[in-house]
Amino acid sequence: MNRILVLMLLSFIYFKGFTQYTDYIGAGHTANITISSSSNNPESPAENLLNGEGLDNKYFEASRFLSQATMGYEKYHVDSLLDLQFESWIDSQFTKNTTLLLPRLEEIWDEEVAVRTANGETELYGPFSAHFSYAWWDVNMENEDLLRHRVAYALSQIFVISRFSELTDYGRGMASFYDVLLENAFGNYQDLLIDVSLHPCMGYYLSHLNNPKENLEENIHPDENYAREIMQLFTIGLNQLNMDGTEILDSDGNPIPTYDNNDIKELAKVFTGLGAGDIEDYVDWTDSPFFGLEFWGTKKTTPMIMYQDYHDTNAKTLINNFAIPAGQDGMTDITMAIENLMNHPNIAPFVSYRLIQRLVTSNPTIEYVQRVSDVFTDNGSGVKGDMKAVIKAILLDEEARSTLAMEDPFNGKLQEPFLRYSQFARWIPKISNENRYWNIGFQFYDETKQHVLSSPTVFNFYTYDYQPIGEISDNGLVAPEFKLHNTATSVGYINSTYYWLFWNSLMYSWIPNDYLNTDVSLNTADLESISEHEEILINELDRHLTHGQMTEVTRGILRNALAQLKWDWNDEWKYYRARIALYLTLNSPDYNISK
């Protein structure tokens, strides 16, 4: 009955012009009112005293910063940031203890096994990718290492593995791989490359686990998949770049490739001989790992090790004529090959551009890319690939922080669906059973085609240079996230917000509720308490969800909708006002476009 009422109320939404306001004077409706001041400071115009911006601008800046630097935040995070410089907040985040996923997954799995066993189930298998999702959400709804998790999520879209593979059966492996990204998020990019290269889940996903050396008599050749992708997707890309991210062109105006097929073949020889570092507990037919042990029996949480007998020990010539001598240990070859990639001039603009896109904007200026690339190349102390320095350079750059950038129509990006979900879910008060946030997220993926570690291919959910047809491509811009934005997924996202708000289904698991209630719903009591005054409610949503950027068009839509929702026979209209205001805000361009 309540859902029918909501649908009827939504159908009555229309524009009605302006109404009277009961919030602070102004708040976006100060037309035809003039105020003067003896101060000429352009940063604090006199009219800010009237329209409320003087009170809220610092809050808006803080919430906008946190939207770029976190997977989600709560009001107290914004309040605490008001007393800090952004750089000081970043420094404090560098010191936070790392909240890893694998330990949380083990706790969740143990509890699920206990409740299923108590209910008579005897054959239990897992944990699976669903349990990785449970752990991811459970951690990200309560953790304090906010920046580390945002950077790790960005890295997961560069170093891609996915549950859409045999990995879906191995939740521990997926959590362990994500923990590698978390542990290296504030380290050095070279160490990250080595750790990713040795992880068995990456070894399985890009097929360099059990990669044998060449044997011409038996027509055996090294698998080239990882060699290709570590260059194309993880380090240097397809074409030579300037430090500002633009392509270097030859005399005929054509891009210059960074590598050729021979470079791939030579690098593939480097990644031979890697195999299982340990065996799974359920393997009962061998006591120790060996080269050729299938992924099923390989310990998914232990790095691969080198089996020297299966490594190609011949001399190798890599890109830029870098020579690896014959007769070396396989791990020495791998270290040298990764150092060679780190020394390539492309790596700084390649990685910098992609991290800027993931954190701040789809179309950074060449100057922005140049500034971050310079820091990637040298952190000021002669160190290349220092992730802490790179993160600071991205988030503190004038293009990330300036209000002028917010006004630039070419700046910003479509906020990817998963971030819209996680940031809203972290901010909104929730009702859960003992703070369990075991969210499987599969329905959200079905609706929007995005969830963590759920890319359809190694090329991520979208490519960095995707251009939807229309004004974006006509203006020479890119918009990667629009690859996910189509008729089905845009409606799917709207449906998801409806489920959250009017079905009270923010999160759910696959554990039967009569075993253990893991459903999570919204608590909108705080918003209901201010819903009598439409403008105060709208301003509250603007402060937290749209960072002071809610347009007058969106405000008008909310005002006219809320005006329909008031009656005398009970107070339920407060509930519907709060939730419809949220519904309209979550589906507005102001929330969906990050500026």
pLDDT band at 403 (very low <50, low <70, confident <90, very high): confident
Closest Cα to residue 159, out of 222, 202, 116?
202
Rounded to whole angstroms, the Cα distance separating 13 from 245 reads 46
Rounded alpha-carbon distances, angstroms, from residue 21 to 18, 24, 481, 536, 559: 9, 8, 37, 9, 10
Q: Tokens standing for 223?
A: 């698998």
Residue pLDDT, tens place only, 160-191: 999 999 999 999 999 999 999 999 999 999 99
Q: Tokens standing for 62?
A: 């803080």
- Bond prior to 127 in cis (omega within 30° of 0): yes
Residue pLDDT, tens place only, 112-167: 999 999 999 999 999 999 999 999 999 999 999 999 999 999 999 999 999 999 99
Three-class DSSP category at 579: helix
Q: What is the dihedral of CA 3, 8, 12, 18, to 10 degrees?
A: -40
HSE-CB at 162 with a 13 A cutoff on CA atoms is 18
The pLDDT of residue 376 is above 50: yes
The pLDDT of residue 229: 99
Residue pLDDT, tens place only, 458-517: 999 999 999 999 999 999 999 999 999 999 999 999 999 999 999 999 999 999 999 999
HSE-CB at 362 with a 13 A cutoff on CA atoms is 29
The pLDDT of residue 37 is above 50: no
Residue pLDDT, tens place only, 297-350: 999 999 999 999 999 999 999 999 999 999 999 999 999 999 999 999 999 999
Rounded to whole angstroms, the Cα distance separating 232 from 226 reads 10
Rounded to whole angstroms, the Cα distance separating 154 from 387 reads 12
DSSP string, 528-570: HHTTTSHHHHHHHHHHHHSTT---HHHHHHHHHHHHT---SS-
The pLDDT of residue 362: 98
The pLDDT of residue 551 is above 90: yes
Within 10 A of 398 (CB to CB), how many other CB atoms are there? 11
pLDDT band at 222 (very low <50, low <70, confident <90, very high): very high
Rounded to whole angstroms, the Cα distance separating 509 from 513 reads 9
Q: Tokens standing for 319?
A: 């890109």
The residue ranges of DSSP E strands in 33-158, in sequence order, are none
Residue pLDDT, tens place only, 262-309: 999 999 999 999 999 999 999 999 999 999 999 999 999 999 999 999
The pLDDT of residue 54 is above 80: no
Rounded to whole angstroms, the Cα distance separating 377 from 383 reads 7
Q: Tokens standing for 561?
A: 């909708």
Give the mean model confidence (pLDDT) for residues 24-32: 42
DSSP string, 434-455: TT------HHHHHHHS--TT--
Is 418 or 6 the better-scoring residue by pLDDT? 418
CB environment 64-80: b (16+ within 10 A), e (fewer): bbbbbbbbbbbeebbee
Q: In this structure, is the dihedral angle defined by the CA atoms of residues 74, 77, 82 and 86, taken in order, positive or negative?
A: negative
pLDDT band at 570 (very low <50, low <70, confident <90, very high): very high
Closest Cα to residue 395, out of 420, 417, 371?
371
The pLDDT of residue 410: 87
Within 10 A of 491 (CB to CB), how many other CB atoms are there? 12
The pLDDT of residue 25: 36
* Average pLDDT for the chain: 92
The vertex-88 CA angle with 85 and 89, nearest 5°, equals 90
* 311 Cβ contact list (under 8 Å, min separation 6): 213, 272, 273, 329, 330, 333
Identity of the amino acid at 370: Q
Rounded to whole angstroms, the Cα distance separating 58 from 66 reads 12
The pLDDT of residue 18: 31
* 573 Cβ contact list (under 8 Å, min separation 6): 531, 565, 566, 567
The pLDDT of residue 56: 81
Is this prediction's pTM over 0.85? Answer: yes
The pLDDT of residue 40 is above 50: no
Query: Which strand (E) or helix (H) includes residue 430?
Result: strand 430-431
Rounded to whole angstroms, the Cα distance separating 516 from 500 reads 20
The pLDDT of residue 35: 44
Query: Which strand (E) or helix (H) includes residue 352?
Result: helix 347-359
Rounded alpha-carbon distances, angstroms, from residue 348 to 151, 236, 248, 377: 17, 8, 14, 6
Rounded to whole angstroms, the Cα distance separating 277 from 289 reads 6
CB environment 350-361: b (16+ within 10 A), e (fewer): bbbbbbbbbbbb
* 52 Cβ contact list (under 8 Å, min separation 6): 23, 24, 25, 26, 27, 539
Q: Tokens standing for 34?
A: 């003039």
Closest Cα to residue 587, out of 462, 424, 410?
424
